[in-house]
Amino acid sequence: MNGSDEHSGTATAKDVPEVLAEVVLDGRLREVTIASQAIGGPISFQLLTPPDFSPTAARRWPVLLLLHGAEDGPSQWTRKAGMLERCAGLDALVVLPQAGPVGYYTNWERPAADGTTPRWEDFHLDELPTVLESRYRASSRRVVAGVSMGGYGAIAYAARRPGMFAAAASYSGMLHTLHRGMPSFVALLMLRGHEHPHALWGSPRRNRRRWQASDPHHLAERLRGTALYISRADGRPHPDDDVPRVAGLLELFFATSTESLVRRLHDLGIPATVSRGDGVHEWPTWLRELDRSWPFLLAGLGCA
């Protein structure tokens, strides 16, 4: 399958969420707002189109889905990662979706503070693909990558939907959510975002099966056949980086969950490219990993 393949899905016009607005932000970068049943109202995503894009083209393009971290948003990929320049000649659609400050790429167990019960997985993996395929000539070849919370999302999505993504990359993701200390961290993160501590998957004790169903470590067998790039840093700031000290401690904390998944994959005989560079839980480190993994992402897209 390559970028010019026709999509073989069966989505009908009835299934496609309504596009409410489309605004050009910068050249080939646009912001698209759709009416989402999964989120319970309007939600937007940013879309960077390839140089020769046309909505009436005979061909279709592969999709690179980039997932943002907690307490951030899609624009971090353009502001901090320079994706406009990096993708200037990329023959693919680059999609930067909203995921909420602490949405954690999942269908929530409990209502959020605003009264809705967001279904982020349904938005990202059901609604968004149908819009891309029906309106923007997306093919069924997809690659997903993310930083921090988005790194979890990339691997969790690949595991929860086997075969949906040709490749998945995590930069400093929490990849074993039931690993020691991780449930408490999730609860604190939710409280910091003014949400119920168990809004995502319920109690890690009483709703353990629900946690396991969203935990990359417990879903590891389902990653077989997906090309994987998994990175974590050593918690030591690079000499050229101006980063807070706490970012090093946070990276070491997350690294334990990453290594837990890496060991699980090794035990199952599932190949993965593992990168253990220097750095902390901040963008300077993730940019170095993005550079290292860029050929991997291009190969997944069929653009190498």
**Binned average pLDDT, 10 residues per bin, the chain of 304 residues:** 37 75 95 97 97 96 98 95 95 98 97 96 98 97 98 98 98 98 97 97 97 98 98 92 91 97 98 96 96 98 92
The CA–CA distances, whole Å, from 204 to 72, 186, 218 equal 25, 10, 14
Place of tokens 């319920």: 202
Reported as a single tens digit per residue, the pLDDT across 80-123 is 999 999 999 999 999 999 999 999 999 999 999 999 999 999 99
How confident is the model at residue 14, as a pLDDT?
54
pLDDT value at residue 304: 76
Q: Break the chain down into helix, strand, coil percent, rounded to 5.
A: 35, 20, 45
Model pLDDT for residues 266-292, shown as the tens digit of each residue: 999 999 999 999 999 999 999 999 999
Helix (H) or strand (E) holding 304: none
> Which residue bears the tokens 């990653």?
223
SS3 42: strand
pTM as predicted: 0.94
The confidence score (pLDDT) of residue 115 equals 95
CB contact at 8 A, 173 and 155: yes
Query: What is the DSSP secondary-structure string of 16-39?
Result: SPPEEEEEEEETTEEEEEEEETTT
* Closest of 173, 193, 170 to residue 182, by C-alpha: 173
Provide the β-strand partners of residue 119.
Answer: 107
| Alpha helical stretches, state H, 100-148 | 120-122, 128-135
